Amino acid sequence: MSAPDSAIRQTLANANLQLAIYSNTGRLKNHRSKAVAPDRFPEYQDLRTRAAAIKRHTLAFLDVYLLQLEHAVNDNGGKVIWASTGEEAADFIIQLAKDREANLIVKSKSMTTEEIHLNDRLAQHELETVETDLGEYILQLAGQRPFHILAPAIHMTRHDVAKVFNEKLGIEHDTVIENQAMTARRVLREKFLNAGIGITGANFLLADSGGVVIVENEGNARLTLSAPKIHVTVAGLEKLIPRARDLPVFLDLLGRSATGQPLTSYTSIVSGPRRNGELDGPEEFYVILLDAGRTKLLADPEMRESLQCIRCGACLNACPVYRKIGGHNYPWVYSGPIGKVITPQFQGVEKDPWLPFASSLCGACAEVCPVKIDIPGLLLKLRKEIVQANPEDRRYFRIWAWLMQRPGMYALAAKIGRALMGFNIGPLAAWRSERDLPAAPPKSFRDLWKQRKK
Amino acid sequence: MDSREAILERVRNALGRKLGQKPLPPPEPLLRVRYETADAKLTLFRAQLNGTLTVVPDAAAAGNAVEKLLDGQSAVASDHPFLQACGIPNIPGVTANPEDLRNTCATAGVGITSAYCLLAETGTIVLRACPQEPRLLSLLPPVHIAVVPLDRLLTNLDEMLSMTPRPVDSDSSAMVLITGPSRTGDIEQILVRGVHGPGAVHVVIVLGKTPPL
Amino acid sequence: MPRRAAIFVTCIVDQLFPNAGMAMVDVLERLGFEVEFRDAQTCCAQPAFNSGYQKEARAVARHFIDTFADAETIVVPSGSCTAMITHHYTDLFARDGQALERIRALTPKVFEFSQFLLGLPNLDALAARFPHKVTYHDSCHALRELGLKDAPRRLLGQVKDLELIEMEAAEECCGFGGTFSVKFAQISGAMARTKVDSILETGATHVVSLDSSCLMQLRGSLSRGGHKIETLHLAEVLASRG
């Protein structure tokens, strides 16, 4: 599969979209910068190191922590479901919904559930699943997939939203953003209060206390996990951290990295159904631990660090490539730099072999990653793997290497190359499609040096 | 082999670990506990709180402060003993511990709770689910008022976790850290408050002695 | 203080931007160094390394190591080539203990140009003058791998009559990225145009950087947009007498 050139061209040519992507990610990027500035947050670099170490440790002993989590969830009256695949996770939920006659399901934002196409699967069984995060709700109505890990509708304007609400909800066309949000509040409130099951993801799973940690600003996750009788969490294996006491390190990094907030409006820590005497909260509590390819990544010690990701979105906001092509031009649900790294690992490098090459390796992502994932390093490893399987440029590099070990030959070949620079062939044509190429200088440095020494 | 065994085996194989093999201990947790004076914490909390803060000298004054905040609106209050001590259930328009909790919360203009604690550094209200403090009370009504004794004002989350290492356990199914009103920037990054949770938060801190946590 | 400085001009400077190389020589000589140009030099191997062709990259990297192993000091007019040598040669030869030893002996002697200058005590001997409005582009490897944010700016600050105006997007990648610039030409071009917009906002007449590859990308985009803004390597500014 080659890069979606024409889709990318369309995105680049869409001036409104370009402005939306660039300015919105720019705003998030600036908020983050201010929040982690050394005078404001001097412990930033230290916390990054600690967070990376905690994640590395947890992944290195994941079997132990998974069992600890299961034990703690059970102690709290909940149940852990182990799902090797997305289908298994979906099948469990479908069966549960059927058994409990819960035809209405509310969901808070979860990339993991997007990954396994949960909504599509549920829809096949006539279960109404409603996204409750405002951006996701709008996208659900519009039939689109998320554009950005954190701000799914970052590419839509108020006019887009007004159109969607008008067409899908039958309400009058209204471009006032506050009104649009209140419409969503009104419509979704009824869903929360009548749903039989609430499905959330998890930002973190606390092994010692069996806690599911969900971080949000709207309150829809709180409602999703509190109002319906059943709460189901779908979480990848990598979400674990050892203890509740490890949470401050991660919370300090997550909010600031994502939106520049020290803490988001709501951080929920839940485990198990309502306790004896509690007046509300779910009566049934399930945590679905999802593999769906994660054990494969875990098995590769060089690539394992990609599982450290806490889904903050900072790398997307920093990436000059993402800020041009946006989330929809990436082949999978995870876009941006982290998407470039995990997509080939989950889906196989041969599916979109262009993806790890669609980077200038500028390193902005690694600079902002709160858990110190070396994304450029991982991209280089993927590139190595891809060309080993499919070395289409090998002969060029063989020739190049041969020349580069022989200075005389190199100088000669380069001289010829300079003479041909005026022609519009191959890479020269590709270069010139976007910018001018300078005229070749008549003499190389070595020529000038020789002259000088005379 | 069922998925549980299959996953655990895949994980162990991936890591080169054997069943029952002991792990290394995790890195020491970093809990940055900073002890501040009550005054310093109040100043910090006031500056950080995204909402209004009223500090009152005693329980009776707390009742008056809440009545003022209500400004005639109907409210639902939790059954928390501290709210009782402040006379909250006696304020006109306040329904404490209603029979039909869900519907009352869904229609009330204000929800009144106490709190597990407050966190000064981030202006956070920490609620911990218990029979006296249901979840929906601070969530469904569009306004949330928390009435809290001063000695529940801690410096930060690290301090709270060093005191309460298990946020959820046999006593409680849920803890929530509330830092400001419900908000979203999902449309054009324009901030809108009160999308699903309350759009306004008010805290009343009561000086003087109180019952233990 | 080493009086001899071997220069590794880099293949792009050698072939396409020789003036930057000559300017660097001028500056080093003015600062009292005897500049040595080893004729055997070719490339640092970054193009092959970035494209995943490690075997080919190693062959060329070995040639670099052989060429410069016994030099006292090696100065390089490029952030990305310097970073390749100082930060990535160990990755390339991770399994070759002997090569790693040679690399560890070599890399402390390799300096990016501005890095090298800033360590010198007699910089005012340069007496550079460049009476123009200049904006500076932070090339990615120099900024993020070599940590060079202040160094080039301080050097520019010592140039008489030079007015340095920061552009908003100074730290954003120009879009070159080696083969990325032609493999993903559309994206690369769009990234360059964003930089150009930021450059235009400063009102500068000149753009300066540590990397000729970036300058080539920016110059190409500026020229295609019909803008008369010049691009220069830092060495050319420091060699300038006004």
Is A412 part of any domain?
Answer: yes
Q: Can you spell out the DSSP letters for A253-311?
A: HHHHHHTS-SS-SEEEEE-SSPPTT-SSS-SEEEEEEE-TTHHHHHT-TTTGGGGG---
Q: CA A249: distance to chain centroid?
A: 21
SS (H, E, C) chain C: CCCEEEECCCHHHHHCCHHHHHHHHHHHHHCCCEEEECCCCCCCCHHHHHCCCHHHHHHHHHHHHHHHCCCCCEEECCHHHHHHHHHHHHHHCCCCHHHHHHHHHHHHHEEEHHHHHHCCCCHHHHCCECCCEEEECCCHHHHHHCCCCHHHHHHHHCCECCEECCCCCCCCCCCCCCCHHHHCHHHHHHHHHHHHHHHHHHCCCEEEECCHHHHHHHHHHHHHCCCCCEEEEHHHHHCCEC
C7 shares its domain with C96:
yes
Nearest to B181 among A161, A189, A265 (CB): A265
Q: How close A286 comes to chain B (CA, Å)?
A: 13
Residue of C14, C28, C81, C181 to mutate, testing the A interface (most A Cβ within 10 Å of its Cβ)? C14
Cα–Cα distance, A342 to B29 (Å, whole number)? 29
A-chain CB neighbours of B160 within 8 Å are none
C91 shares its domain with C131:
no
CATH of the domain at C156: 3.40.50.11810
Return the structure tokens found at B183. Answer: 């908000």
Of C95, C118, C141, the residue that ends a domain is C118
List, for residues A357-415, the tens digit of each pLDDT value. Answer: 999 999 999 999 999 999 999 999 999 999 998 888 899 999 999 999 999 999 999 99
Is A379 part of any domain?
Answer: no
Which chain A residue has the Cα nearest residue C217? A435
The CATH number assigned to the domain with range B31-206 reads: 3.40.50.10420
Residue B71 touches partner A, C-beta closer than 8 Å: no
Task: With CB atoms and an 8 Å threshold, state whether A441 touches C16.
Answer: yes
The answer to whether residue B210 scores a pLDDT higher than 80 is no
Split into its structural domains, chain A has a count of 2
| A 326-345 → B contacts, CB under 8 A | none
CB atoms within 10 A of CB A39: 5
Q: Residues B59, B87: contact at Cβ < 8 Å?
A: yes
CATH of the domain at C105: 3.40.50
The answer to whether residue C2 scores a pLDDT higher than 70 is no
Nearest to A62 among B11, B168, B179 (CB): B11
| A 144-173 → B contacts, CB under 8 A | 151-154, 156-158, 161
List, for residues C178-188, the tens digit of each pLDDT value. Answer: 999 999 999 99
Which chain C residue has the Cα nearest residue A415? C15
Place B209 in a pLDDT band, splitting at 50, 70 and 90: low
List, for residues B86-134, the tens digit of each pLDDT value. Answer: 999 999 999 998 999 999 999 999 999 999 999 999 999 999 999 999 9
C16 shares its domain with C105:
yes
Task: With CB atoms and an 8 Å threshold, state whether C175 touches A431.
Answer: no
Cα–Cα distance, B196 to B182 (Å, whole number)? 6
Task: With CB atoms and an 8 Å threshold, state whether A251 touches B194.
Answer: no
Place C125 in a pLDDT band, splitting at 50, 70 and 90: confident
Mean pLDDT of A172-194: 95
B-chain CB neighbours of A50 within 8 Å are 27, 30
Could you give the ipTM of this predicted complex? 0.96
The answer to whether residue C128 scores a pLDDT higher than 60 is yes
Paired sense of beta strands B192-193 and B183-184, if any: antiparallel
SS3 A335: coil
Cα–Cα distance, C221 to C137 (Å, whole number)? 14
CATH of the domain at A68: 3.40.50.10420
C15 shares its domain with C96:
yes
Of C50, C84, C118, the residue that ends a domain is C118
Cα–Cα distance, A305 to A297 (Å, whole number)? 9
List, for residues B148-191, the tens digit of each pLDDT value. Answer: 999 999 999 999 999 999 999 999 999 999 999 999 999 988 99
List, for residues A86-109, the tens digit of each pLDDT value. Answer: 999 999 999 999 999 999 999 999
C131 shares its domain with C232:
yes
Mean pLDDT of A351-356: 96
A119 shares its domain with A253:
yes
Mean pLDDT of B2-31: 96
Q: Can you spell out the DSSP letters for B32-59?
A: ------HHHHHHHHHHH-SSEEEEESSH
C149 shares its domain with C93:
no
Q: Which domain holds residue A423?
A: 398-453
A402 shares its domain with A288:
no
Place B35 in a pLDDT band, splitting at 50, 70 and 90: confident
Return the structure tokens found at A155. Answer: 């590419």
CB atoms within 10 A of CB A350: 11
Domain ranges of chain B: 31-206
pLDDT at position A136 is 93
| A 46-75 → B contacts, CB under 8 A | 47, 50, 53-54, 57-58, 60-64, 66-67, 75
Tell me what the pLDDT averaged over chain A comes to.
Answer: 96
Q: Which domain holds residue C148?
A: 127-238
CB atoms within 10 A of CB C117: 24
Q: Residues A256, A262: contact at Cβ < 8 Å?
A: yes
The b-or-e profile of C84-98 (16+ CB within 10 A means b, else e) is: bbbebbeebbeeeee
Q: CA A393: distance to chain centroid?
A: 31
Q: How close C143 comes to chain A (CA, Å)?
A: 9
C65 shares its domain with C146:
no
pLDDT at position A1 is 65
Mean pLDDT of C207-235: 98
Tell me what the pLDDT averaged over chain C comes to.
Answer: 96
Place B213 in a pLDDT band, splitting at 50, 70 and 90: very low
Tell me what the pLDDT averaged over chain B comes to.
Answer: 94
List, for residues C74-83, the tens digit of each pLDDT value. Answer: 999 999 999 9
Q: Residues C203, C172: contact at Cβ < 8 Å?
A: no
What stretch of H or E contains B6? helix B3-15
A64 shares its domain with A183:
yes
Residue C23, CB half-sphere, CA atoms under 13 Å: how many? 21
C-chain CB neighbours of A12 within 8 Å are 186-187, 190
C106 shares its domain with C170:
no
A255 Cβ contact partners less than 8 Å away, ≥ 6 residues apart: A35, A215, A261, A262, A263, A264
Eight-state DSSP code of residue B176: E
A6 Cβ contact partners less than 8 Å away, ≥ 6 residues apart: none
* Amino acid code (one letter) for B153: L
A-chain CB neighbours of C217 within 8 Å are 435
* Amino acid code (one letter) for C26: D
A-chain CB neighbours of C171 within 8 Å are 364
The answer to whether residue A168 scores a pLDDT higher than 70 is yes
Split into its structural domains, chain C has a count of 2
pTM of the model: 0.96
